[in-house]
Amino acid sequence: MKIIILSLVYRFVRFLVTKVLYLIQKFFFMKKDLEPAVKFGDNSLARLNILSGTLYEFEIPSNNGIEIYGMKFPSPLIGSSFKSDPNILDIWMKMGLGGLIFKTIMRNKRIGNPYPRLQDAYFNKKSGLFNSLGLPGMGVTDFLEYLKNTELWKYERPLGISIGGDDENEYLSNLLELDPFLKTNNKPYFYELNI
């Protein structure tokens, strides 16, 4: 029942927020941009997580776990390079992800592509999302500090590190900066190469 209620509330709020946002953007002759709605949603979800610690907690169904190269994922579903906010990632882990992959990390901080860069998309009467964020991120040195301090390790589920680069040397240098900590952290992790 909890899933049905939360799903209905989410759909209603998303519909309302996007319609109001698009109306404001049209009124001020701005290009359509979905990113402010996503940020509003993330901030609202994070506040609810802080206020209610249990709202998003769901039990992972038993007997759905998988093991890959010695890493145990309690669920085959993982979040893939979609968020960097620790509060939002915490919510997704509470909801039962078997693990997650952090947003792609590059050598230096990146602001990403110019706005607008996130749009609703429709194809054959089906809706989706067009993402052209351009790999915004904090840079590998700040990300290493983030990794050392994140509470996401408490879930004891594999965390994926997505490595990016403009050339093979950047991939290697990013990997070499992160790897010593990850090897001594004694928590399950894996790498993803974003090519």
Q: Per-residue pLDDT tens for 7-21?
A: 898 889 889 999 999
**Torsion from C-alpha of 104, 166, 137, 28, nearest 10 degrees:** -110
Strands 118-123 and 126-131: antiparallel
- Decide if 96 contacts 79 (C-beta within 8 A): no
Beta bridge partner(s), residue 137: 110
Predicted local distance difference test score (pLDDT) of residue 44: 87
Q: Give dist(CA 183, CA 186) in Å, integer.
A: 6
Say how many Å lie between the first and final Cα of the chain, rounded: 41
More confident residue, 29 or 127: 29
Predicted local distance difference test score (pLDDT) of residue 14: 87
DSSP 8-state assignment for residue 59: P
- Decide if 59 contacts 79 (C-beta within 8 A): no
Q: Give dist(CA 174, CA 167) in Å, integer.
A: 11
Q: Give dist(CA 1, CA 3) in Å, integer.
A: 5
Query: What is the tens place of the pLDDT at every residue in 97-130?
Result: 999 999 999 999 999 999 999 988 889 989 888 8
The pairs formed by 5-12 with CB atoms below 8 angstroms and a separation of 24 or more are 6/55
> Among 83-92, 139-148, 155-164, which stretch is predicted with the lowest mean pLDDT?
83-92
Residue 170 makes CB contacts below 8 A (sequence gap 6+) with 106, 107, 164
- Using the predicted structure, report yes or no on whether residue 145 has a pLDDT greater than 90: yes
Q: Can you tell me whether residue 170 is helix, strand or coil?
A: helix
Q: Can you tell me whether residue 175 is helix, strand or coil?
A: helix
Q: Give dist(CA 158, CA 191) in Å, integer.
A: 10
